Structure 1
Amino acid sequence: MAIRIEMMVDPGEAERAAILKPLRAHNRAKAGDPKTEAIALLVRDEQTGEILGGLSAEIFYRWLYIELLAIPEQTRGQGTGSRLLHMAEDLAREKGCVGIWLDTFDFQAPAFYAQHGFSQFGQLDGFPPGHQRLFLHKRLD
């Protein structure tokens, strides 16, 4: 088979989906159906309905991966982040997940996650320069 490799800056969703297709097929063949499900917990302004932040996650292979957690500046210190994490954990338990995992930077909120029972299982030094990217998990079983 003849191939060529092409570089693309800012690829679209179609290119990403094309790359994912053979990867997902391989993963299914080796590990079974991941039974993926995307979820979002949205923090909205009650008056305008505007989304101010929230939590975006995906369940696959019985783990909930928290991809994004953004707490609006104006609600910090009011328990919003804790409520979002508790809601995500409750949902993960309902869906039969064995755990939750996420990644964060050292300047974001690693102590916050530790207070909620998360443990570090990995770290990448110098990402971004002068900082660390931390990988955290919490088992539910």
Structure 2
Amino acid sequence: MSPRIDITATPSEEDRAAILRPLRAHNTASAGDPQRATLALLVRDEHSDEVIGGLYGEIFYGWLYIELLAIPEQAQGQGTGSRLMVMAEEAAREKGCVGIWLDTFDFQAPDFYQKHGYTAFGEIADFPPGHTRFYFQKRLV
């Protein structure tokens, strides 16, 4: 077999799925079923019920990955972020997770996560240029 490699700036969802399929098969064969689950904690406007922020994550291989955490300006400084983190930790424990991990930038909330017991396990300098991207974890067991 002599594979051809194409480059595209506009991959389709089918292209992504085609790449993901053998990767997931390999991971499952090597590490078992990841037992994927999604977690979403939605912050809603008290008047319109519109979602204005929240926390979104995925559980796989016994860890919760917090992909998104957004606190709207009008809810900042009121403990909303802390409540979301506590609720995420409770949900992760209920699902039997070993821990939680996430990433953040220096201009976002690294101090917030450290305050909640997260420790840095990596960083990338100049991502974006002039800033740092941090990776944090918190073990639950």
Which stretch shows the higher mean deviation, 57-66 or 5-14? Answer: 5-14
Match of 1:89 in 2: 89
SS in 1 for 2:17: helix
C-alpha deviation, 1:89, in angstroms: 0.2
Which residue of structure 2 aligns with residue 21 of structure 1? 21
The one-letter code of the counterpart of 2:47 is Q
Q: Using the TM superposition, give the Cα deviation of residue 52 of structure 1 relative to its aligned residue in structure 2, in angstroms.
A: 0.6
Instruction: State the 1:46 CA deviation.
Output: 2.2
TM-score (norm 1): 0.96
Residue 54 of structure 1 aligns with which residue?
54
1:12 positional shift: 3.1
What are the ranges of 5 or more consecutive residues in structure 2 without an aligned counterpart?
Answer: none
Distance of 2:54 and 2:26 partners within structure 1: 32
- Secondary structure of the equivalent of 2:127? coil
TM-score by length of structure 2 reads 0.96
Q: How does 1:1-141 map to 2 (within 5 A)?
A: 1-141=1-141
What is the percentage of aligned positions where both structures have the same residue? 66
CA deviations 1:33-76 (Å, max 9, x no partner) are 11011111111112212111111100000000000101101110
Letter in 2 for 1:66: I
* CA drift at 1:124: 0.5
How many residues align? The count is 141
Q: C-alpha separation between the residues in 1 aligned to 2:119 and 2:79?
A: 21
Unaligned runs of 5+ in 1: none
